[in-house]
Amino acid sequence: MRILKNIAMRNITTLLLCIIFTTVFYSQDVNDNIRFVSQSQVPQPVVDRQKSLFPTNFVSEWEVQQMDGMQDAHTLRYIAKFEEDGRPGFSASYLPNGILIFNSEFMPSEIIPAEVRLKIDRDYPDYKIHNAEFITFYNPKREIYKVKLLREINLQYKFFNTAGNEIPVESLPEEMLFLIN
């Protein structure tokens, strides 16, 4: 009888662990709206605009993003990931006709402007700045710091203008909402 109990407990424990691992595996956040594409799949006006705006930079990858899951041209964004002066961490987002929506630059925590760092130190004293992206939108022109904050295992993004003022999520440009995820 005791042997049967041990076997039953082992089977129950194994089943429970399988359920936990399966749940964790399938609950991973996957963004089906973004896929990698080759440069030959990118519209020529987008490639030409990238070359004219960033002529000396090497594009390491292209992505296409469907803003609403539809295949309509007006909902597509083409994103170039590139290096500038040998430094990775730059990107630019375009409409299919080549209009630049925004470009961004990765920033380690050490080079985030003092205005932004001071505001974070004051308003989020328990958090540590991990890194940031400096994002420039062009219509209308807005410059935004997307700052990644960590507290132990807690992660959150906060947004600031160049003067160090926090920007509420509700007032961010529509394209920025897709960058949060």
Q: Tens digit of pLDDT for each residue in 108-123?
A: 999 999 999 999 999 9
pLDDT > 60? residue 69: no
Percent of the chain predicted with pLDDT > 90 = 61
Instruction: Tokens for 164, please give them.
Output: 């160090």
Closest among 62, 67, 89, 68 to 77, alpha carbons compared: 67
66 and 6 belong to one structural domain: no
25 and 43 belong to one structural domain: no
pTM over 0.85: no
Sheet holding 141-151, edge to edge: 34-37, 58-66, 76-84, 87-94, 100-108, 128-138, 141-151, 154-160
Closest among 111, 61, 119 to 91, alpha carbons compared: 61
Q: Could you tell me the residue range of the domain that residue 167 belongs to?
A: 99-181
165 and 180 belong to one structural domain: yes
Closest among 149, 147, 148, 141 to 173, alpha carbons compared: 141
Percent of the chain predicted with pLDDT > 70 = 77
132 and 75 belong to one structural domain: no
pLDDT at 179: 64
Choosing from 73, 97, 121, the residue where a domain stops is 97
Q: Determine the average pLDDT of the residues in 43-57.
A: 94
How many angstroms separate the first and last alpha carbons of the chain? 53
Q: Determine the average pLDDT of the residues in 42-58.
A: 94
Question: Using one digit for the tens of pLDDT, what is the confidence trace for 116-147?
Answer: 999 999 999 999 999 999 999 998 899 999 99
Mean pLDDT for the chain overall: 84
- Give the Cα separation of 163 and 70 in Å (integer): 37
Contacts of 69 (CB under 8 A, 6+ apart): 32, 33
CATH number for the domain spanning 115: value is 3.10.450.360
